[in-house]
Amino acid sequence: MAKVYPKRNDCGVPESQWIDGKCVACGRGRYCDMREKDTIEQRVYDWFVRRGVVSNGAMLYRSEAVRYVNRMKAAKATVPKYIQRFIDTMDEQQKGKNNEKQK
């Protein structure tokens, strides 16, 4: 059985702070619905924080994450499997969007 890791949204707000599947961290009566595609594992977010790609508590831009990992791969650096899976998932989602646009 696979281990389940805590989730965060792209803005770095942990799942424990969401209310009824909505993130209200921005305040002022605004909220974001937390869809599966808008969440990432805590360890993925932390990995990018440790490498300076994003500041803790700041928005993780997925395009920047992809560029960073691609630069690491080009430099023959080791990338953890869970990071590679995260990037692969984003690639699949992007291909799905492109296919929908072509219809």
pTM attached to this predicted model:
0.80
d(CA 88, CA 49): 20
Phi, psi of 7, deg, nearest 5: -110, 160
pLDDT tens across 53-78, in order? 998 888 898 889 999 999 999 999 99
Q: What is the per-residue pLDDT for 35?
A: 86
Q: What pLDDT score was predicted for residue 58?
A: 84
The pLDDT assigned to 51 comes to: 94
Residue of 49, 51, 86 lying closest to 72 (CA atoms): 51
pLDDT in tens, the chain (103 residues): 678 888 998 888 899 998 888 888 877 778 888 888 888 999 999 999 999 999 888 889 888 999 999 999 999 999 999 999 999 888 777 666 656 665 5
pLDDT for the residue 82: 94
